[in-house]
C-alpha cells in the first residue's frame, strides 16, 4: 500500500511539473517573434529613409525661368496731344429782344438757320399809335416854324423903324426875344419829332451784328414788351466753339493758339480749330477748367451738341512703345520692366498720343529701361525671367 501511494504521489508530481515547462517554452517563442518583428520594422524604416530621404539626386529639378523678350525704347520726337470732351456753342452768342415800348408783333421775317446782316430787321411790332404821334409832332414843327418866321418879320420891320424914332430900343429887344423863343420852339418840336421817330424805329427788332440765327421765340400776334425774354439768338459771324473740359494738370500745359481737331458725337468727320481762350479758374468740385476752341461755321457743328477734341500741345522727346507693351487695369496704365536681377517689376506710366507707330509715354520712363515687349499679362511682379532683347526690324 505504501509503495502504491508513493508511486501515486510521484505521478502526481510529474503531472504538475510538465505544464510549467511548456509555458516557459511558449513565452520564449513569443519573445523571439516580437524581437523579429521589431528588427524587421527597423530595417524597413531605415530602408525608406535611404530611398527617399538620403538620395538628393532623385529630387525633381526646379523649373527653368521663362524667356521674355524686351526692348529699350530710347526717346524720339512725338506730338504731344491731350484728349478732351465738351459742349459745342456759339463763340459769341447774342440774345436779341425788343428795345422799344413793345406791342403786338405784326411780322417775323427770319427763321433759325438764316444768315442776317448787321441792322437787318428780324420782326416788326404794330406802330399805329406811334405813327399818329409822329404825325402830331410833324404838325407841331410846322406851327413852330410859322411862329418863328412871323417873329423874324416883326423884328426886321421894327429895326427899320427904330432909326426914325417910332420904336424904342426896348421894343427891339422884346421882339428879338420873341423871335428867339419862336426859334427855340422849332428846335424843341424837331427834337420831339426825332425822338418819336426813333421810338417808332425801335419797334423794329433788328440784328445787332451779322451772324447766324440760332433760335426764334416769337410769332405774329404775340404781345412783347421792353425788358421781356429773348426773342432771337444769333451767333455772331456764325463762329462756333467747343468748351473743352480739361483736368487742371492738363490745362496747365495749354496755350492760346494750340491746334485741335474736334469731332462731334455721331460723326466721323473732324474739324480743325484753335484754342482762343483758357479759363482763368478751376472748378473746385470737378478740378477741371475750360479751354475754348474756336471753330469755323459748318452745318454739322450744332450748338448744344457734345464733341470730342484732340489738342496738340507741341512736340516732345519721349519714349514710344508698341501697344503690346502697355497694359492697364483699375489702377491705370503700366508696363513691366526687367531689372538687373532678371526679375519683373511693375512701372506706372502716363500715355500720350496713340499713332500707327506706337504709344507715346509722357511720364514714367526715361527710355533706357528694359521694357517687356509682350506677354505682360502672363507675368507678375517679382517673377524670375530669362531676358532676351528683341531683334531690330530692318
Instruction: Indicate the class that CATH gives domain 68-78+318-389.
Output: mainly beta
The CATH number of domain 83-91+238-312 is 2.60.120.380: no
Closest by alpha carbon to 359, among 74, 78, 68? 78
d(CA 192, CA 186) in angstroms, rounded, equals 10
Give the whole-angstrom CA distance, residue 123 versus residue 249: 48
Query: What's the pLDDT tens digit per position in 140-168?
Result: 888 888 988 988 888 888 887 776 667 77
305: helix, strand or coil = coil
Chain segment 356-371, per-residue pLDDT in tens: 778 888 888 988 999 9
Of the candidates 106, 96, 128, 95, the residue with the CA atom closest to the CA atom of residue 223:
106
The band of 173, judged by pLDDT with boundaries at 50, 70 and 90, is confident
Residue 25 has what pLDDT? 62
Q: Which of 230, 234, 221 is nearest to 99 (CA)?
A: 230
Q: 68-78+318-389 and 83-91+238-312: same fold?
A: no
pLDDT at 359: 86
pLDDT at 6 over 60: no
- Of 103-107, 154-158, 181-185, the least confident: 154-158
Q: What is the pLDDT of residue 265?
A: 93
CATH number, domain 127-202:
1.10.287.470
> For residues 25 and 363, which has the higher predicted lDDT (pLDDT)?
363
Q: b/e per residue, 312-326, with b = 16+ CB within 10 A?
A: ebeeeebbbbeeebb
Question: Domains of the chain: which residue ranges?
Answer: 68-78+318-389, 83-91+238-312, 96-125+205-237, 127-202
pLDDT at 7 over 70: no
Which residue is it, cell 433788328?
206
Nearest Cα to Cα of residue 140 among 177, 184, 185, 179: 185
Give residue-wise pLDDT tens across range 76-98: 877 777 889 999 999 999 999 88
The architecture of the domain spanning 96-125+205-237 is Beta Barrel (2.40)
Say whether pLDDT at 32 is over 80. Answer: no
pLDDT tens-digit readout, 299-338:
999 999 999 999 987 777 888 898 888 998 888 899 999 9
**Cα separation of 198 and 3, whole Å?**
180
Contact status, residue 205 vs residue 125, Cβ threshold 8 Å: yes
The sign one gets for the Cα dihedral 330, 268, 277, 213 is negative
For 285-295, write each residue's pLDDT tens digit.
999 999 999 99
What would the DSSP string read from start to end of 201-247? HTTEEE-SSSEEEEEE---TT-EEETT----EEEEETT-EEEEEEEE
pTM over 0.85: no
Q: Which comes out higher in pLDDT, residue 62 or 250? A: 250
Kindly tell me if the per-residue pLDDT of 198 is higher than 60.
yes
List the one residue out of 163, 52, 140, 74 whose CA is nearest residue 358. 74
Which residue shows C-alpha cell 399805329? 128
Amino acid at each position: 500500500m505504501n509503495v502504491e501511494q508513493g508511486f501515486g504521489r510521484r505521478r502526481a508530481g510529474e503531472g504538475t511539473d510538465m505544464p510549467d515547462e511548456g509555458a516557459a517554452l511558449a513565452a520564449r517563442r513569443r519573445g523571439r517573434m516580437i524581437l523579429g518583428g521589431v528588427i524587421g520594422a527597423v530595417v524597413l524604416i531605415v530602408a525608406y529613409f535611404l530611398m527617399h530621404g538620403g538620395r538628393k539626386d532623385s529630387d525633381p529639378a526646379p523649373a527653368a525661368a521663362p524667356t521674355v523678350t524686351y526692348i529699350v525704347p530710347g526717346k524720339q520726337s512725338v506730338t504731344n496731344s491731350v484728349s478732351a470732351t465738351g459742349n459745342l456753342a456759339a463763340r459769341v452768342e447774342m440774345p436779341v429782344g425788343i428795345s422799344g415800348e413793345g406791342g403786338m408783333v405784326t411780322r417775323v421775317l427770319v427763321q433759325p438757320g438764316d444768315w442776317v446782316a448787321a441792322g437787318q430787321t428780324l420782326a416788326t411790332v404794330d406802330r399805329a399809335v406811334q405813327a399818329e404821334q409822329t404825325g402830331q409832332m410833324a404838325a407841331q414843327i410846322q406851327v413852330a416854324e410859322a411862329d418863328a418866321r412871323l417873329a423874324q418879320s416883326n423884328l426886321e420891320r421894327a429895326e427899320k423903324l427904330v432909326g426914325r424914332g417910332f420904336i424904342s430900343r426896348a421894343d427891339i429887344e422884346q421882339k428879338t426875344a420873341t423871335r428867339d423863343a419862336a426859334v427855340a420852339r422849332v428846335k424843341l418840336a424837331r427834337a420831339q419829332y426825332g425822338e418819336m421817330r426813333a421810338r417808332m424805329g425801335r419797334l423794329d427788332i433788328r440784328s445787332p451784328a451779322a451772324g447766324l440765327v440760332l433760335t426764334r421765340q416769337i410769332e405774329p400776334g404775340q404781345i412783347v414788351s421792353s425788358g421781356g425774354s429773348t426773342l432771337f439768338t444769333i451767333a455772331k459771324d456764325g463762329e462756333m466753339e467747343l468748351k473743352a473740359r480739361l483736368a487742371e494738370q492738363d490745362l496747365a500745359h495749354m496755350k492760346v493758339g494750340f491746334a485741335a481737331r474736334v469731332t462731334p458725337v455721331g460723326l466721323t468727320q473732324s474739324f480743325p480749330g484753335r484754342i482762343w481762350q483758357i479759363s482763368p479758374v478751376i472748378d473746385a468740385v470737378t478740378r477741371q477748367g475750360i479751354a475754348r476752341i474756336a471753330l469755323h461755321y459748318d452745318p454739322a457743328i450744332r450748338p448744344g451738341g457734345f464733341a470730342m477734341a484732340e489738342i496738340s500741345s507741341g512736340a516732345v522727346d519721349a519714349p514710344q512703345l508698341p501697344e503690346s507693351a502697355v497694359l492697364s487695369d483699375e489702377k491705370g496704365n503700366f508696363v513691366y520692366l526687367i531689372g538687373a536681377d532678371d526679375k519683373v517689376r511693375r512701372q506706372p506710366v502716363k500715355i500720350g498720343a496713340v499713332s500707327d507707330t506706337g504709344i507715346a509715354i509722357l511720364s514714367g520712363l526715361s527710355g533706357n529701361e528694359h521694357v517687356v515687349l509682350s506677354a505682360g499679362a502672363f507675368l507678375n511682379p517679382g517673377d524670375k525671367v530669362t531676358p532676351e532683347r528683341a531683334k531690330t526690324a530692318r
